[in-house]
Amino acid sequence: MKIEMTHLRQLEAESIHIIREVAAEFENPVMLYSIGKDSAVMLHLAKKAFYPSKIPFPLMHVDTTWKFREMIEFREKMRKEYDFDLLVYTNQEGASQGINPFDHGSALYTDIMKTEGLKQGLDKYKFDAAFGGARRDEEKSRAKERIFSFRSENHRWDPKSQRPELWNLYNAKVKPGESIRSFPLSNWTELDIWQYIYLEEIPIVPLYYAKVRPVVERDGMLILIDDDRIKLAPGEEAQMKSVRFRTLGCYPLTAAVESDAATLPEIIQEMLLTRTSERQGRLIDHDSAGSMEKKKQEGYF
Amino acid sequence: MAHQSDLIAEDIAAYLKTQEQKQILRFITCGSVDDGKSTLIGRLLWDSKMVFEDQLAALEVDSKKVGTQGEEIDYALLLDGLQAEREQGITIDVAYRYFSTDKRKFIVADTPGHEQYTRNMVTGASTAEVAIILIDARKGVLTQSRRHSYLTSLVGIRKIVLAINKMDLVDYAEDRYQEIIAEYKEFAAELGFEEICCIPISALKGDNIIKASERTPWYQGPTLMHHLEHVEITDNALSKPFRMRVQWVNRPNLDFRGFSGTIASGIVKPGDTVVVPSSGQTSKVARIVTMDGDLEEAVAGQAITITLEDEIDISRGDMLCCPEKRPSFADQFEAHVVWMHEDALLPGRSYLIKAGSATAPAQVSALKHKVNVNTLQREPGKTLELNEVGICNISLTKPISFDPYQENRSTGNFILIDRFTNATVGAGMIDFALRRATNIHWQSIDINKQSRAEMNDQQPKVLWFTGLSGAGKSTIANLVEKKLHSLGKRTYLLDGDNVRHGLNRDLGFTDADRVENIRRIAETARLFVDAGMIVLTSFISPFKSERRLARELLEEGEFVEIFVNTPLEICEVRDPKGLYKKARAGELPNFTGIDSDYEPPENPEIEVEAGTRSADDIAEEIVAKII
């Protein structure tokens, strides 16, 4: 007798197990929804985990007000298609002070609008567990991240006080104010994510597909001119190029890659033949060595 | 990447089709600090082309800055994730790495090799199917190699790769290689491995990793990568009896009641009869529901939702099982426990056990012996310290379903959680159910607690006095007992004098003994309550968890915690038995308040300030509150 599960089906089943475990053990969980491809897979898995029931927890999007316009349109479309409760949270204080990535630099902006915004959102609704779509293969400091990652009352991650995780047993016990960040996609790689999207025909934001779009070259990166808040410096000029995005975030901080890959198989093909990792397109990682580790300790996802 | 590059470029759709049939292999690498473990994994990632150009650029810079290989690339730097570790030059936790070839996707648990990190190795090995044990060809089989092999076998891994590394440093000498293998096989004979595949390698130079090395012409076996791609995954969970623990009850509306969970072992089909051991009830599987449609059959590893033909009572933690081959259902079992926390395991202390989706309070009722992980010898012990392995009897407050771990890896494991810090403190593998638990059923006798209480015309309870030495507990408890007695109540006082000299005279004052002391007192108090008595106990009882244990032995309202709150300074001035003086002089170790903690109650039923008021006043107040 030999009925072996393929690697995608095994990853799928393990993620569903994790998602159900969180829903069963916590009083007030939330799924952080970033609208990107990993979030799309996570949402799809949540739908599968509870079918025919509705997803029994809300999704929260921390809106920095600098997301690509197509991301927000896509979010609203998904809300109808997948039938989930959506909370949108923005750090109003930061927004009213006009904190933006151009004038304040990526580090300060990310800290206030993303990390701080996330913490405020989690505090406001008193969530005791939050799903994130991070994968261990993304970055070195993530390789040791737990599937249930313990956070103190002020959302801090302490690499030394993480709980050992054995088999498929996850310790969900927290005191009031403390919380768990749960990463059901921990064992997926970028290739797995794309293969699964392909296999399951999961909708993703059109920005992942190549198209001729207006961009400006800045510090060696191609930045999309998504709205008129981006000001061109002397010497800079808008160009029309066939580009796509390997990762999505805030448009001024997310670099496009030149590409003609306009279908899923072409994207996967390009990914397999390429020689740079996806986080290369995220400006936040380049600040200093171990920058992701520092950000995580402060409460970033 | 090590994929069929031509096919990717020419026919991506055909390529994707072939990729859908891949399987996952999880393996762990174990080695001592300098065995070249990180270098080996770095090499596997490198040679399977999982390293991107930007990572390569960073690696070159890092190799020059902190590398240990001179001008050459230090592959180990690909792996060491956290900054602190990179600076110390050692890996200090479990990290997971991913790479894939055309045959398989690999998940590697990378764990450190030092003495103090048994915890991490067991964690990494718990999900692995294969272990690579690295041996430095110059050093041969070390104590650590034995430890790694024992732990590997303990967590149920049956396939071993013995990688003799650094062959370049012994001139690729076959006799050295054979010598090491012989020594290893002799030692490993008792560990029950099914297969030991030996490969001479050099992680640094790449010999026999991907390509067969020309420098070991005497070696005819597979390369490491070839072996990993082809080793049979012996997960025979499919051929075992059906088991599924219910994680979540799926109730979208009144017409649908499904039980969601991951199949731990076996196969299930609609029409199969299943039993729930906790109630003994059976029913038939009506549907296997998934978002992709109902299934004709589901197998171990799949996450599904089952509906049954009958309405039977099932909740999270229950197990759906094959009725012909039922699991054990018991509240006591023997298990191998690996301790994972700085605070030692204390027999008698109440922990939470999590076994699958079932969670229950549990205590280690006996630590039978410890296993020295280096020599495999049995050793006696009263507690288990961090990284120690012990054989324990565990008793739970309610029975759960399980199988012996050696028979079923998925249904025989558990973790222990500290009830105050919530830390995961232990991991366990069940050996067998203790039949005592199933055979000694509580005899239901006609005369019960209630009838005894009625005869005594009182509400039986425990007045649990807690507080520092010299706080006034015994004085107050004595006065309370006198007053109750004069009111016609039937009482009994348990204190140090009548307990320490008899029932507990074998116990000292270590933390472990203090826990056991209180456990026995709590059990004794419970018997007296059962007999319809009002029991007064007067002990320091410094730990919250033991007081909670006592509380949980009794029914709601029967446990009255009385905190005699007297400041330490006053107790020390009173010092009725001269104990504080001795403790301060260092003659009395582990003295509460001096060099051992007192954990004050958070919500005692009664709290009395005994520093200033008279003992008689306080006793009056307590009697008024409880009668």
Tens-digit pLDDT profile for residues B567-625 = 999 999 888 888 898 888 888 888 888 888 899 998 899 999 888 888 999 999 999 98
Inform me whether the pLDDT recorded for B49 exceeds 80. no
pLDDT in tens, A217-272: 988 889 999 988 888 888 889 999 999 998 898 999 999 999 999 999 999 888 88
Nearest-neighbour CA in chain B from A197: distance (Å) = 12
Nearest-neighbour CA in chain B from A92: distance (Å) = 34
Asked which of B183-187, B234-238, B259-263 is least confident by mean pLDDT, the reply is B234-238
Q: Which of A4, A277, A289 sits opposite B23 (nearest CB)?
A: A4
Q: Which of A10, A24, A167 sits opposite B248 (nearest CB)?
A: A24
Q: What is the DSSP letter of A110?
A: I
Which helix (H) or strand (E) element contains residue B95? Answer: strand B95-100
Q: Which pTM was predicted?
A: 0.80
Inform me whether the pLDDT recorded for B219 exceeds 70. yes
Q: Where are the alpha helices (DSSP H) in B314-463?
A: 435-439, 449-456
Interface contact B218, partner A, CB < 8 A: no
B245 contacts B265 by C-beta, under 8 angstroms? no
- State yes or no: is B541 an active-site residue: yes
Strand extents, DSSP E, B447-588: 461-466, 491-495, 534-538, 559-565
Q: How many CB pairs under 8 A join A and B?
A: 190
Give chain B's mean pLDDT.
87
Phi, psi of B340 (to 5 degrees): -120, 10
pLDDT of amino acid A291: 54
Nearest-neighbour CA in chain A from B310: distance (Å) = 19
Helices A37-50, A7-25: crossing angle, 10 deg rounding: 70
CA neighbor of B162 nearest in space, from B239, B221, B230: B221
Q: Which of A143, A269, A273 sits opposite B96 (nearest CB)?
A: A143
**B543 vs A28, more confident:** A28
Contacts of B304 (CB under 8 A, 6+ apart): B244, B260, B261, B262, B263, B288, B289, B290, B295, B298
Sheet holding B95-100, edge to edge: B95-100, B104-110, B23-30, B130-136, B159-165, B195-200
CB contact under 8 A, A137 and B98: yes
CB contact under 8 A, B79 and A289: no
Q: What is the ipTM of this complex?
A: 0.90
Residues 159-218 of A with CB under 8 A from B: 159, 162-169, 171, 173-175, 186-187, 189, 191-192, 195, 198-199
Q: Which of B54, B98, B302 sits opposite A276 (nearest CB)?
A: B54
In angstroms, rounded to a whole number, what is the distance separating the alpha carbons of residues B282 and B277? 9
CB contact under 8 A, A142 and B81: yes
pLDDT of amino acid B63: 62
CB contact under 8 A, A293 and B82: yes
CA neighbor of B199 nearest in space, from B175, B170, B185, B220: B220
CB contact under 8 A, B417 and A171: yes
Residues 91-130 of B with CB under 8 A from A: 93-98, 100, 104-105, 107, 110, 119-120, 122-123, 126-127
If one counts every other C-beta atom within 10 angstroms of the C-beta of residue B564, the result is: 27
Interface contact A38, partner B, CB < 8 A: no
Residue of B nearest to A5 (CA): B23
If one counts every other C-beta atom within 10 angstroms of the C-beta of residue A160, the result is: 8
Interface contact B406, partner A, CB < 8 A: no
Inform me whether the pLDDT recorded for B3 exceeds 60. no
- Residues of A whose CB is below 8 A from B97: 137, 143
CA neighbor of B150 nearest in space, from B390, B404, B341, B372: B372
In angstroms, rounded to a whole number, what is the distance separating the alpha carbons of residues B392 and B430? 10
pLDDT above 70 covers a percentage of chain B that reads: 89
Cis before residue B576, ω within 30 degrees of 0? no
- Residues of B whose CB is below 8 A from A165: 123, 424
pLDDT of amino acid B586: 85
